[in-house]
Structure 1
Amino acid sequence: MELLPRLRRFARVLRTRDADAQDLVQQTVERALASRSKFKAGTRLDSWAFTIMRRLAIDEGRSILRWGKVVRAEDETTVLIADAGQADEALKVDAMAVREAIHALPDDQRQAVALVLIEGFSYAEAAEVLGVPAGTLTSRLVRGRQSLIQTLAEKGVTG
């Protein structure tokens, strides 16, 4: 249960639509529970769950490409909004700009940024989740950070 908020955040990075992100979290939890006998004691549960989520997202993406159709819970006129909260309007606008900037990143950079900068994974842990060498993760993260800094500066979003 403690892992659910982190899974939701990562799902929102992998899926632009909230309904799709919620579905991804549900699928991840179902897969993790069904495969719990494969979890190795002494390893990190969060890394294992994030790996499951990433693989499900990849599989779903391939399926969508293969079949050429997407079912969307939201239509094109639905405005993407920041998570409900007590933030004032300026903070909500900034949060939406950050979300849009993150979603504009290429998949590999977006996933690296989400795992390291948002979820707090170490470089080695994030590299393991993504199935890439640590050096590859580092270069993706650097490019992602640079792109975010530039995009957000252009939109007037400050620290």
Structure 2
Amino acid sequence: MPGVQDEVEAHLKSLRRYACALVGNTADADDLVQEAVKRAIYYCSDGREIKDVRAYLFTILHNVRTDQALKSKRAGTQVTIDDEGPQLPSAASQESTVECRQLGQALRQLPESQRQVVLLVGMEGMAYREAAEALGLPIGTVMSRLNRGRQRLRELMSTDRRPGSGRT
């Protein structure tokens, strides 16, 4: 089990980054990651083995997010007090900051099904097959959602840059 814990620890930054981008704030992201890690360690405590720890962790994270979304839907709309985005590791130039903010806003406008795929493949660098495994989808669905998500992001980002749109 210590080997699995080391592997889990090696993927914490990626899990947290994906969770932050997925849910939009660090507190909820940390809760998602904590639950995913807890479930992975519990699964291994019985001596069971995980072939691909990274894919397994992202699958659990996806499932926890889906469970929470269903519970939230039943509970009604919740408003968060502090809406933090993913943290940049270093200070960016003003132009980069604006572009990152616009990209974050554009990502939040995507349907969650497209956003999940765009984040896993684009931000986390997962292969299509790995993302399909993590999300429990056929690879063709992942490719289709990725294509539609990227196209929608291009549209949203070009709209933000048009003269008169209030943005540069």
Which of 102, 113, 118 is matched with 1:97 structurally?
102
Taking structure 1 as the reference length, the TM-score comes to 0.85
Summarize the Cα distance change of 1:39–1:137 in structure 2 as closer, same or farther, 3 Å threshold: farther
| 1:127 counterpart letter in structure 2 | A
CA deviations on 1:112-150 (whole Å, 9 max, x unpaired) are 101111111111111111111111111100000000111
| 1:53 counterpart letter in structure 2 | L
Q: Which residue matches 1:40?
A: 49
Deviation, structure 1 residue 30 = 1.7
| 1:113 counterpart letter in structure 2 | V
- Tell me if the contact between 1:82 and 1:95 (Cα under 8 Å) persists in the aligned partners: no
Summarize the Cα distance change of 1:71–1:40 in structure 2 as closer, same or farther, 3 Å threshold: farther
Summarize the Cα distance change of 1:93–1:39 in structure 2 as closer, same or farther, 3 Å threshold: farther
Q: d(CA) in 2 for partners of 1:54 and 1:8?
A: 12
CA deviations on 1:73-114 (whole Å, 9 max, x unpaired) are 42xxx5x55524221222111111111111111011001101
| 1:40 counterpart letter in structure 2 | E
Which structure's CA Rg is the greater one? 2
Q: d(CA) in 2 for partners of 1:137 and 1:38?
A: 32
1:68 to 2:76 alignment: yes
Summarize the Cα distance change of 1:81–1:121 in structure 2 as closer, same or farther, 3 Å threshold: closer
Q: d(CA) in 1 for partners of 2:11 and 2:77?
A: 31
Q: d(CA) in 1 for partners of 2:123 and 2:160?
A: 21
Give the total of aligned pairs.
Answer: 152
Q: d(CA) in 1 for partners of 2:116 and 2:48?
A: 23
Which of 80, 83, 87 is matched with 1:83 structurally?
87
Q: Which residue matches 1:4?
A: 12
**Match runs of 1:98-137 below 5 Å:** 98-137=103-142
Identity, in percent, stands at 36
1:152 to 2:148 alignment: no
* Structure 2: unaligned runs, 5 residues or longer: 1-8, 163-168
* Structure 1: unaligned runs, 5 residues or longer: none
Summarize the Cα distance change of 1:38–1:124 in structure 2 as closer, same or farther, 3 Å threshold: farther
Q: d(CA) in 2 for partners of 1:148 and 1:19?
A: 26
